[in-house]
Every structure is written in C-alpha cells, then in structure tokens.
Structure 1
Amino acid sequence: MKKSRTLVIGDIHSGLSALEQVLEKAKVTSDDKIVFLGDYVDGWSTAVETVNFLIALKETHNCVFIQGNHDELCYDWLKEKKDNPIWLQHGGQATLESYEEADDKTIEAHLQFYEGLENYHLDSANRLFLHAGFTNLKGVEHEYFTKTFYWDRTLWELAQSLNPEMLKEDEYYPSRLKHYSEIYIGHTPISKKLSDVVPTMSANVWNIDTGAAFKGPLSVIDVDTKEIWQSDPVHTLYPTEKGRN
C-alpha cells in the first residue's frame, strides 16, 4: 500500500500550466496531503482557471490552502472593486483581465475560496506552514498582527543570517524558530532571474518560492523525504506573456 505523503507547493501566481505539469511529475494521488503556500493569482494570464482548478481539486484531494498576500489583494478588489495601482503593477493587471469574462457564479465561488484560506497550518509533526512569516517570539498563536503571516519577510531574512553551525540549544538561537521542527514558507523568491532555482533551507526554515512568477519553476517538496519536483520555468509555458518580470 502506498504511503500517504505531505507535499508542499510554492507560489503559483496563476501559472496553471506549471501546476498541472508538476502535479503530474510528482504523481500526486488522492492519498496525498497537499499544502499550498498561497499566492494563487497575480502573474500569468490564467488566474480564474487556476482558482477553478484548486476548487475542483479540493473535492477529490486532501488540500490545505494557505493565505498569500496576493490572494488578499485580489479578494479586496473582487469584493470592493476599488482601484489599487500598486496591485496592478505587481501582477494584478493580468488577474483583472482574467476576471473580465468571469460570471457572477464564478466570482462568488472564488470569494468563498479566498475567505476560506488559512493563515497557517501546523501538522502533527510540529511542522509549520505559512505564506510569509511571523514575528512573535512565542510563536504563531501569539501573533498580534495577522497580516504578518502573509506579508512578513523578516523570518526568511533571519534564517539566512544565522551561522549554520548554531544549534537550537544555543542561548542566542532565535526564539521564534525553536517552537517548530520545520517551517515551510513562500512569498520571498529565492531568485527572480534564475531558471534552475530549487527549494532552499536555512536554519529550520524551508523556502519553496522558486520564482514561478518570474523566470523560475513551480516547485513541490515531500516534507518527509525532501524529494523535489519542478515544472519547466513557468515563463516558457506562457511564451507570449511577461508575467511579473
């Protein structure tokens, strides 16, 4: 009998073609638990199709959907229809155009999808999954500002700055990292320019954002074995588009 896996998927940014490709490469089945780290939209042209795919996938698979900052921006626009020039400049224009042909039923289903996103997920092995980071020294349950979960970049910056030889038992090891066996994040691309980027670990933090919105691939990692699967560089799957480059 095939063992159930926990698979983590980085920032998709409307790259449905890359998502379908990497799910096929990883041979994902309904026995697997799939944790999506957020930023489902803003980048490539298939925003509506991407969210439709994820909604359908949840009907047949064990999925955890984490909230990303771009998902909040898209939700706010769908809900309020307020202009947000900064959002449009950072992938929102492609999302706006994707939604131009969406009917009311589709938009309502998508609003429900965005409203159901989780700020973070903590599994039975004390592994934490969230889009960006947190700042409270006592851990995520004590975070004062929930937007930190999908906007913060200091967690990854902190992890990268540590001496690799420092142990958790060290007096000066960062308190917020001690609470979890591992932490999986996206949000901050490891590189925006390289096409051969892979998920990277610093301290006990794994960054799975391999720049799918830019020049990189979309990545999946098995949290137990650390096996990695990647799509083609996403921009090659949308050759007539610029993405967020």
Structure 2
Amino acid sequence: MATFVLGDIHGAYRALRQCLERASFSYEDDTLIFLGDVADGWPETKQCIDELLKIKNLVYVFGNHDFWTLEWMQTAEGEDIWVEQGGRATIESYKDGIPESHIKLLNNSHLYYEKDNKLFVHAGFNPNIPIDVQPQQTLLWDRNLARTAIDLYEKGIHGKFSSYEEVYIGHTPITYNHPIKSSEVWMMDTGAGWAGVLSMMNIDTKEVFISDPVPGLYPGIEGRKRRV
C-alpha cells in the first residue's frame, strides 16, 4: 500500500498510463496524490479523468487549470486566456458530453492536502501565514516559492522554507526531466504540458517513474504554450 505523488498531466493520457504502469500502481491498494492540472494542453483530458476515477484512493489537489475547466463545465463559458492556454483541447475532448462524475471530482478536490507533516499544494504558499487561511489565488497561482526553490537549487544553497518536513508542488514547470528537491520542497511539474515528461514518485522510497517525452506520444499535435 504505497503512496505516490504525481505532477501536472495537462491532458496527456498516454503519459499518465505510462507512469502508472511503470510504477506497478495498484488501483485498489495504493494511494495517488495528484497535484492538479489534469486539463488543458494535450487532447485527452476526458480520458485522464476517467483513468483517475478508477483509483480507489485518489487525493486530488485543485490546480489553476482545473479552476478554469470546472468553470467551463458548470457554465459552458470559458475565459479567452483559458482557451488559448490549452482549453480548446479540453473542450474538444468532451465533444460527447461532460460526465457528472468529472464535475464532482473537480468540485470536491482539495486546495491543499496535509499528511504526516508533508504538504501537497498545486502552486505554492506563503510560509509566514497559516495554511488554512491562505488565499486560493496563492495556492493555485503563486510562483514565488517555486522561483526561490529553483534559484537555490541551481546555486547549490540549502535552507528551510517552512515547518513542514516536505512540500510537494506542481504548477511551475522545471527544465529537468525528473523532479528536483530544493530544501524541503519537491518540484513535480516536469513539463508534461508542453515539451517535457510526466513524473510520478513514491513519497516514501523516492523512486521516480517517468513517461516518455510527451510530444513523442502525440506526434503531429502541439501541446499548450508555456505561459501559465
């Protein structure tokens, strides 16, 4: 009964399946903590959510693209920036309709998740403010923690950001083809939404399971632009 954490999928169902298979993930016994952004980019958002719904012990952390997608699912309207940043592919993946279970999954997702003094959040947080009063904008969109973590990692500087033993974030793509750890912060978005790979990690053993480069899994199809 292992626990895994998974970075941003962005519609890359083929990469998701590769990670689950390479990890020998048990849909009945293992736990998957997904850091958000299932949608927007590659063409199989619906298939991604269908696959996640098969997992008995799924912890879904809400992402900024999930926010946009849920808004569209509930209102049939979407912001122009969302459509430009991968939303068009999400809309097309639901041409046969939106299952109520998909809306429910996004609606019931977590803004953050804590387990054994470990924090799982999509974008970041302000370590000087209690996690339960952080604005949703920070948890879904902020890049300050990620940018600082990347800077310290590349300079080889070690420190401590928070009182958590470990912090897992997605949202900000890194240019490495594997997750990196800066102090207690693990950065799990390895660019699956545009030109990188999808990464999944056993949080106890730190064994990493990585997909093939996603563009090669969808030849002739362009992923989302690297902006938000």
| TM-score computed with the length of structure 1 as normaliser | 0.85
Q: Is the 8 A contact 1:139 1:179 kept in 2?
A: no
User: Structure 2 regions of 5+ residues with no counterpart?
Assistant: none
| 1:193-241 residue CA offsets vs partner (Å, 9 max, x unmatched) | xxx6110111210001000011111111111221111011111111121
Task: Tell me the secondary structure at the aligned position of residue 178 of structure 1.
Answer: coil
Does 2:165 align with 1:181?
yes
- 1:93 corresponding residue in structure 2: 88
1:138–1:84 Cα change, 3 Å: closer
1:52–1:165 Cα change, 3 Å: closer
- 2:2 corresponding residue in structure 1: 5
- 1:174 corresponding residue in structure 2: none
> What pairs up with 1:47-66 in 2 under 5 angstroms?
47-57=45-55, 61-66=56-61
The whole-number CA distance in structure 2 between the counterparts of 1:83 and 1:9 is 26
- What is the CA RMSD across the aligned residues, in angstroms? 1.6
User: Structure 1 regions of 5+ residues with no counterpart?
Assistant: 169-176
- Amino-acid identity (%): 40
How many residue pairs get matched? 222
The whole-number CA distance in structure 2 between the counterparts of 1:135 and 1:167 is 16
Q: Which moved more, 1:23-32 or 1:130-139?
A: 130-139
Query: How far is 1:83 from its partner?
Result: 3.9
Q: Select 2:13's aligned residue among 13, 16, 40.
A: 16
The whole-number CA distance in structure 2 between the counterparts of 1:51 and 1:90 is 19
Query: How far is 1:82 from its partner?
Result: 2.3
Does 2:132 align with 1:141?
yes
Query: How far is 1:102 from its partner?
Result: 1.7
1:24–1:204 Cα change, 3 Å: same
The whole-number CA distance in structure 1 between the counterparts of 2:130 and 2:190 is 26
- 2:220 corresponding residue in structure 1: 240
Task: Tell me the secondary structure at the aligned position of residue 184 of structure 1.
Answer: strand
Q: Is the 8 A contact 1:136 1:142 kept in 2?
A: no
| TM-score computed with the length of structure 2 as normaliser | 0.91
Does 2:30 align with 1:32?
yes
| 1:67-90 residue CA offsets vs partner (Å, 9 max, x unmatched) | 010000011111122241100111
